[in-house]
Amino acid sequence: MDACLHHLQGKTELVKPADLLQLLREFHREKSALRARHVAGARLIGDYNFNNTYQYVINREDVHLAWLRDAITDLGGTPEEASEPTIQASGKNAAETIFRDDSREAQGFVDRWRDRIEPIGNARHKTMLRLMLGEVLEHKRFFDQAAAGRQDLLGRRADGMGTPGKVLSTRWVGSSK
């Protein structure tokens, strides 16, 4: 081991466990709000290909939130969930407006958190949060492409045809028998 390593480590300002818990709870709260916004957006986006992309993003966010809940619980805390916002969008360019707003929200989230993650000394939590920021940027790319009218966001069919149709804003839940 390098004899000077302890001097370098002593000069860095690492996040203390109580501060780490607070940081994770705040990150979770904002990530939960981002997911809730995407659920609200998915309710308004009926196009099958675009809605499918929202479902993909929401499912990844569910995984992220589960990781965060586990980390917060391990540190003795309780996460807070955000409620679904109401999104108002109408007219010819409503979907494009929703996509652009989601893109802007994703970039804002990354901008707010990128530098706050770096001082974290716990490699597991730091890596987890960095990974999430990377995926948020991937989601932003989806929203940018959707706003530009690209429908092949999750891949292309071999025959080159898209998937026609619309999805319902309310999902079927359970049996009516």
Residue ranges in the chain whose pLDDT is less than 50:
1, 5-12, 172-177
Instruction: Please work out, in degrees rounded to the nearest 5, the angle formed at the alpha carbon of residue 40 by the alpha carbons of 150 and 51.
Output: 30
Q: What is the dihedral of CA 151, 152, 157, 162, to 10 degrees?
A: 0
Please tell me the pTM assigned to this model.
0.79
Cβ–Cβ under 8 Å, residues 78 and 72: yes
Task: Give the pLDDT confidence score for residue 149 in this predicted structure.
Answer: 87
Please indicate, yes or no, if residue 32 is contained in any of the structural domains. Answer: yes
The pLDDT value given to residue 14: 59
Task: Identify whether 132 is part of a domain.
Answer: yes
**Is residue 161 situated within a structural domain?**
no
Enter the tokens of residue 116.
Answer: 């706050």
Residue 85 inside a domain? The answer is no
Is 122 a member of any domain? yes
How many domains does one find in the chain?
A: 1
Per-residue confidence (pLDDT) for residue 58, from 0 to 100? 96
In a domain, 159, yes or no: no
> What pLDDT shows up at residue 78?
96
Query: What distance in Å separates the CA atoms of residue 108 and residue 86, rounded to the nearest whole number?
Result: 19
Look at residue 176 in the predicted model and tell me its pLDDT.
41
Q: Which domain holds residue 24?
A: 16-79+91-147
Give the C-alpha separation, 64 to 167, whole Å: 25
Residue 154 lies inside a defined structural domain of this protein: no
CATH of the domain at 118: 1.20.1260.10
In a domain, 10, yes or no: no
